Amino acid sequence: MRLSHLFMRLGVFAGAAVACTLAARATVAVVEDVSVMAVQEAVVDADLPWAAVMGDGLQIVIEGQAPTEAARFRAMSAAGSAVDAARVIDNMSVADSGAIAAPDFAVEILRGDTGVSIIGLIPASTDQEALDARIAAIADGAPVTDLLEAADYPTPATWPAAMDYALNALDQLPRAKISVSADRVTVSAIADSTAQKSQMEAALARNAPQGLRRIVNITAPRPVISPFTTRFVLQDGAAGFDACAVDTPDTQARIIAAATAAGFDGDATCVEALGVPSRNWGEAVALGIGAVADIGGGTVTLANTDVTFVGLESTDQATFDRVAGVLENALPDEFALTVELPRAPDATTAGPPTFTASLSEDGAVQLGGRLSDDLATMTVENFAAAKFGAADVTLGTRLSADLPQDWSVRVLAGLEALAQLSDGRVVVTPDQVTVTGRTGSKTAASTVTSLLLDKLGQTAEADLDIVYVEELDPVAGLPTPQECIASVTTVTEAQKILFDPGSATVSSGSQPILDEIADLLERCPDIPMRIAGYTDSQGGEEMNQSLSQSRAEAVLDALRIRRVPIASFEAIGYGEADPIADNGTEEGREANRRIAFSLVSDTAEEAADADADADAEEVDSAETDATDTETDATE
């Protein structure tokens, strides 16, 4: 009886143990599944698709390859937000980060009146001592602020050329900002005048290395004119400006409208400049021009706020007085009026003393007429030598005691006016300075007028006949890019350029043609020109592409050897693309083997159209039989 009770108790305890074990296992499974699901949801919400979540009892194991250490940390944080972080086991790995990318080397250089500043990142291989010495030499004693840093990474292939070009530009430009990167140099500068701007741009274009992208932005301020001068002349029905200075386009429009009403029908070259003495300048000039028209002829000169109104000898005194009175009352208060009505000279009076100076097209200067004494003669001769060159001046003057007191001043003013012309003549008398000639500057007449009024006074009589000739203008005379391409086409239409058989070497017989093309392109600085090479369809496509590229580059190299600025040129081989004739005939194949000169367009499609429309310069080898032609095409 007792034994049976014992077994019963043992059976109860065993059954309870089994039940507890089963319950514990079920509880662990439920907790594990719930934890894994919670962590998986957290990982998905964190956008970590690479992380794998597994349960191991109460522990959560995360495996997978994290792209970065930061991603691995995010996975652990996401799991810790879903379950107790102590239960999370990290079995993740991190992918190799690889080599750190080299930085972009860049330098900013600023030069002004206060010195030179340079900041940026340069390769560690740079000879910084030599760089500092070169910048110090450019600064010429001015302070240099060096904020350069160096990084030990490979030097880009184009970096030395870019820095050298930037430092050359810095040496040429006294006020500039230059940005340098491995493949581009951006230059921003200020010039003192339009002429200096053109000279700077041409110099930068000549020194540019091949393959370097340049962005050049040089600005020139408006000139300062003092005295601010406008002179309008109406005589014998012909109206015109000896000088015309304005401050705004609206002022110019008002002045031209008044001149047109007075009979002017030409093209006025008014200089938009700084230095206007009054905001009422346009009104005052228009009133003066209207007064000249009312009396039928004469001259009105405005120099700053001084207005000189001069009638003709034939003008009626009463009419002149009436118009002058109306003008004086109508002018703005800040302007002062001086009037003059010339009298007819006495026919019995002897002719006035005269000084003449002539400047020929080749630069020779002849001086003649009257001077007061030996000192005046030496002064005039030295002044002319300084202006025109001592070797070009021929003196043929005579001494005369009966000359006006200001005679030497008038003579020197006349010579200075002559120096503004390309060729011409000056005649100086006691009452008038006459200047005639040609010039390549649109503002020469205005400059001469201002000069004479400044030297001789506001009432000075000056008769100017200065003609602007575009061929003498160094800026306007430059051909357009389209004209440059047309000039090259004209040369190459007469004779083809040949290559040595089976090579990309220009034949010796074609060297004179390249010489002529180089002469033409010297007057076409910085035009964006493409030299495109083509072949016929015979031979392999890859070989034809290679041959066309080599021949295009050969032409580019030939131009560079002839010192043509080629920084804006590019050479591209197109192989057998874009045939212009039938490749089924010998004549057609010869026509298709060519090099075309064209302007670079903004897009590839425009460039293709430009190549098709432009007159092509055809370049081919000197093969004379079908076998040689086949060999050349295949190569």
444-454 per-position pLDDT tens digit: 888 888 888 88
Across-strand partners of 294?
A: none
The single-letter code of the amino acid at 607 is A
The torsion angle over the Cα atoms of residues 195, 200, 202 and 204, rounded to 10 degrees, is: -170
pLDDT score recorded for residue 429: 93
Mean pLDDT of the 517-544 span = 81
pLDDT of residue 2: 61
pLDDT at 428: 93
d(CA 84, CA 381): 105
List, for residues 132-172, the tens digit of each pLDDT value: 999 999 998 899 999 999 999 899 988 999 999 999 999 99
Structure confidence by residue, pLDDT tens digits, 15-52: 777 777 766 666 666 667 778 788 888 888 888 888 88
The model's pLDDT over 299-339, given as tens digits with 9 standing for 90+, comes to 999 999 999 999 998 888 888 988 998 899 899 999 999 99
Determine contact, residues 361/396, Cβ cutoff 8 Å: no
Give the pLDDT band of residue 435 (cuts 50, 70, 90). very high
Q: What is the pLDDT of residue 419?
A: 93
Better-scored residue on pLDDT, 363 or 523: 363
Element (H, E) at 292: helix 281-295
Give the pLDDT score at 30: 66
Judged against a pLDDT cut of 70, whether residue 621 lies above it is answered with no
Say whether 506 sits in a helix, a strand or coil: strand
**Nearest alpha carbon to residue 233 among 337, 149, 312, 349:** 312
CA distance 26 to 21: 9
Q: Is the pLDDT confidence value at 531 over 50?
A: yes
Phi and psi dihedrals of 293, rounded to 5?
-65, -35
Answer whether residue 530 shows pLDDT above 70: yes
Q: Specify burial of residue 42 (Cβ count, 10 A radius: 0-12, 13-18, 19+).
A: buried
Contact 215, 204 (CB under 8 A): no
More confident residue, 238 or 508: 238
* Structural contact between residues 547 and 635, judged by C-beta atoms closer than 8 angstroms: yes
Higher pLDDT, 529 or 622: 529
Domains assigned to the chain: 23-94 (3.30.300), 106-219 (3.40.1520.20), 229-340 (3.40.1520.20), 355-472 (3.40.1520.20), 481-634 (3.30.1330.60)
Residue 262 has pLDDT above 80, yes or no: yes
Nearest in space to 466 (alpha carbons), one of 490, 492, 432, 443: 443
Sorting pLDDT into bands at 50, 70 and 90, what band is 631?
Answer: very low
Q: How far apart are CA 269 and CA 50, in angstroms?
A: 75
| pLDDT over 60 (residue 605) | no
